[in-house]
Structure 1
Amino acid sequence: MRGKFRSMLLAVAASACATTLLAPTGALAAPNGPEKAEESSVRRVTEGANGPSGDASVSANGRYVVFGSSADNLVPDDTNAVPDVFLHDLRTRRTTRVSLTADGAQAAYGGSAPVISAAGRYVVFRSRGLVQDQGQEEGQEQYGYFRRDLRTGATERVGGPDDLYPQDSGALVGASVSADGRYVSFTARQTRTGRPGHRTAVRDLRTGELTVLESPWASEAHLSDDGRRLVHWESVPAPVQHPPSRVFLLDLRSGESRRLDVAADGSTTTARSGYPAISGNGRVAAFSSWATDLVPGEDPNGAQHDIFVTDLRTGAIRRLDAPLAQGWSTAPSVSRDGRYVVFGFTPSGTTWGTTHLYRTDLRTGRTTPVSHAPDGTPAAATTGERPLDAHGRTIVFSSADGGLAPGTPSPGGDVYVRTLR
């Protein structure tokens, strides 16, 4: 599942046509459970770290991984005693720190929740006080998302809770970035006054323009690579949940919005849906839902959370059946070419949060384990924003299971990279 690194810290261009991938409407079956792992390799990115690491994101070419870590021995002179954001080059195996001030100094508040642009030039992350905003009082340290240019070192503030709740305060809960780093979406949760809500905005860092979505519940937003399409979840808080949580696609250029948890005949489900994702090419969206009425036929795992995949050009929708008969599937991520979906699965009878990762090939229907030990035993794992490379072969994730790769595990969990061939 995405965005679980915070709880871990507290606890210790497309060659395939999406129409071909997704048609016909129906379920992608896995009648015999997940297949054995394809030929693959897995290694620990944070080898030797003395603290937990997570929230990993990978560039489109599968070379650069960004992640958050509370370890202080990944780079020299890490003395700020707070989590930081790091970049690891999988080719050279060199790790550098990203969460730095505009002049390249160590950041007093560090950084967290990173996402890397497709080309690997920009990293967006959450921090405080990295730049002095115009009109900001001396000593005032604004909280928000920042974008760092890894080529030039330039760092600028994208936005924060004050942009979405000017009369209140809020907590930042997620960001996404276009391939060229120009557009960044971010979400804040209202925390103090009135009924809790979420607001989402998109910043054009070339013009400075801020577009705030109209919905007072918009959360879990993800941009396509060109920054034009954005999927989001209208997360209506419990216990009211009226209307139930739903997922939408917004065209930021035309302003057109459409609901995605819709059956092929146009009927809308009354079940709760959420955790949307979109491919980099903007052709494929995925989300999780309790719905049993979005596709025809019997659902093998009954009224449980399933993953649904929509072809955004044709409207065709499919269900990715769970790798086992009983359990919950949630929090999908889609490769930039739209062919692969990585998702979390919690088997029935296990503790919620014991999530195993799988990858489904939308062209063949084959489901492959991702977070599994060499002996095939599944391990609990989590993903960050954009955990797959362009073609879905390189997958980054975090896990506290030290048996996933050779070497000494880090206390609290490591970042891993699995390469499927």
Structure 2
Amino acid sequence: MRGRTNRVTTVRRGRVALSTAAVVCVVAAALPGAAWAGPAGGVGGAGVRSAGIERVSVAADGTQANDDSARVSITPAGDRAVFTSYANNLTPGNTGRNDRVFVRDLATGQNRQFDGYASAPPMLSGDGQVLAYLAPRFANTALYQEHLSRGWTSAYTCSLFTCEASMGANENHQAFSIRFRPPEPNQRVEVRRPDTGALQTVDIIHNTAAVRPSISGDGTRLAYQDGGEHDVFLWDWAGNTAAGPIEGPGRAAELVQLSDDGNKVVYLSGPDTYVHDVASGTALVVPGVKGVAVDPTGRYLLHTPSGTTGPAPLTLRDLETGTDETVTDRPATAGIDTVSAGGRHVVFQSTAEDLVPGDTNGKADIFLRTLR
């Protein structure tokens, strides 16, 4: 799943779309795009990488970026990463200085560039085929989707509301929260039915703040933040019911994300991280750490020290064995969807200059850590 927060307009990895039922949107005509040959979703060359750290925000020939790069995520298979950058030397013929979105094939080292300032972290669908990102469009914000193999492009201009989005395995598994502008305080979440693709509404009782939807890969489960009461709820498509707050009564919680398999919900409460098991209804407490992402299987938790508000060392914990592996001991940042399946790969941003040889650009770079 993919979805992100702490901003009025937010997107979440690999999940994307806007409700046409809620408000009038202008849909730009689909434009032909350059197709990216070869299907994603298989590990390919990424599966034979040696353990260690490499820089992702470089050109295909290894030239380092000449400006800052940020806001990265990776596919479950670990074969593609997406990030934003002001660099104009990551693809041939790029002379602009605007923040752009780049999709990198980690097996071949090839970058593909998408113009337009991304106003929220970009997303890749779970199958790695669809890129989505929010960007300004005239006086509004548009949600852009690009199919990397088929070559189609679509843009949705939203004029009356701000939104957050989350997408599962492909463009057919989507959830979006709609936040109406004042003086209308209401919000709601709409989910595409996994059987028909039709939109259905998930009722929210307290809805005066960001909803932060996080959908499972198959589109059948949705975790969301009830910002008005600082609670986390779990919605199930089969019964069209929401359970919660899953953290229990009388406690404040902050959603991190729902695992792609839909079996684990990670949330923060006080100084600790909790991993809620959907089947048993119980939660594993990971004390004294701030969870920032979970791998698609829900087994591997990426975390920083509790109370972290900026760059900090990153650690990956195996929740089954309780063992930790250092991703980086240098100050770094990461968000959701930065851990591939099985905890094999982690992507992150750092300004540290000693993570890889030859890092002399003095800029924030994107790095890939292969652990096993």
TM-score by length of 1: 0.68
Aligned to 1:126: 134
| Counterpart selection for 2:303 from 343, 347, 368 | 343
Aligned to 2:215: 223
Aligned to 2:285: 319
Q: Distance between the aligned counterparts of 1:127 and 1:85, measured in 2?
A: 10
Q: Distance between the aligned counterparts of 1:57 and 1:92, measured in 2?
A: 17
| Counterpart selection for 2:259 from 279, 301, 306 | 279
Distance 1:226 1:206, change over 3 A: closer
Q: Deviations over 1:239-297 (max 9, x none)?
A: xxxx3x111111234321112533xxxxx24232103311111111111111xxxxxxx
Q: Distance between the aligned counterparts of 1:392 and 1:280, measured in 2?
A: 13
- CA RMSD in angstroms comes to 3.0
Distance 1:203 1:402, change over 3 A: farther
Quick check: which has more Rg, 1 or 2? 1
Q: What is the DSSP-based 3-state SS (H/G/I as helix, E as strand, rest coil) of the residue aligned with 2:370?
A: strand
Larger RCO of the pair (alpha carbons < 8 Å, separation 6+): 1
| Counterpart selection for 2:174 from 172, 184, 187 | 184
Aligned to 1:363: 320
User: What amino acid is aligned across from residue 320 of structure 1 in structure 2?
Assistant: V
| Counterpart selection for 1:150 from 143, 148, 151 | 148
Please identify which structure carries the higher strand content.
2
8 Å contact from structure 1 (residues 279, 337) kept in 2: yes
For structure 1, the 5+ residue unaligned runs are: 7-38, 100-106, 130-139, 237-242, 263-267, 291-304, 323-328, 373-378
Q: Distance between the aligned counterparts of 2:183 and 2:366, measured in 1?
A: 38
Q: What is the DSSP-based 3-state SS (H/G/I as helix, E as strand, rest coil) of the residue aligned with 2:243?
A: strand
Deviation at 1:189, TM superposition (A): 5.3
Q: Deviations over 1:120-152 (max 9, x none)?
A: 1111211245xxxxxxxxxx6752322211001
8 Å contact from structure 1 (residues 260, 310) kept in 2: no
Q: How does 1:173-322 map to 2 (within 5 A)?
A: 174-187=164-177, 193-194=182-183, 199-203=188-192, 209-215=198-204, 216=207, 217-236=209-228, 243=229, 245-262=230-247, 268-290=248-270, 305-322=271-288
User: What amino acid is aligned across from residue 203 of structure 2 in structure 1?
Assistant: E
Q: Distance between the aligned counterparts of 2:152 and 2:222, measured in 1?
A: 26
| Counterpart selection for 1:81 from 97, 100, 113 | 97
Q: What is the DSSP-based 3-state SS (H/G/I as helix, E as strand, rest coil) of the residue aligned with 1:176?
A: strand
Deviation at 1:4, TM superposition (A): 9.2
User: What amino acid is aligned across from residue 44 of structure 1 in structure 2?
Assistant: R
Deviation at 1:417, TM superposition (A): 0.7
Q: Distance between the aligned counterparts of 1:410 and 1:313, measured in 2?
A: 48
Q: What is the DSSP-based 3-state SS (H/G/I as helix, E as strand, rest coil) of the residue aligned with 1:75?
A: coil
8 Å contact from structure 1 (residues 277, 285) kept in 2: yes
8 Å contact from structure 1 (residues 277, 286) kept in 2: yes
Q: What is the DSSP-based 3-state SS (H/G/I as helix, E as strand, rest coil) of the residue aligned with 2:354?
A: helix
Aligned to 1:21: none
8 Å contact from structure 2 (residues 256, 336) kept in 1: no
Q: Deviations over 1:67-125 (max 9, x none)?
A: 1112111112334432111111121111111x2xxxxxxx4556752111222111121
Deviation at 1:339, TM superposition (A): 1.4
Aligned to 2:111: 95
For structure 2, the 5+ residue unaligned runs are: 8-49, 59-63
Q: What is the DSSP-based 3-state SS (H/G/I as helix, E as strand, rest coil) of the residue aligned with 2:122?
A: strand
TM-score by length of 2: 0.76
**What is the number of residues matched between the two proteins?**
320
Q: What is the DSSP-based 3-state SS (H/G/I as helix, E as strand, rest coil) of the residue aligned with 1:371?
A: strand
Q: Distance between the aligned counterparts of 1:206 and 1:148, measured in 2?
A: 23
Distance 1:55 1:180, change over 3 A: same
8 Å contact from structure 1 (residues 383, 398) kept in 2: yes
Q: Distance between the aligned counterparts of 1:44 and 1:53, measured in 2?
A: 11
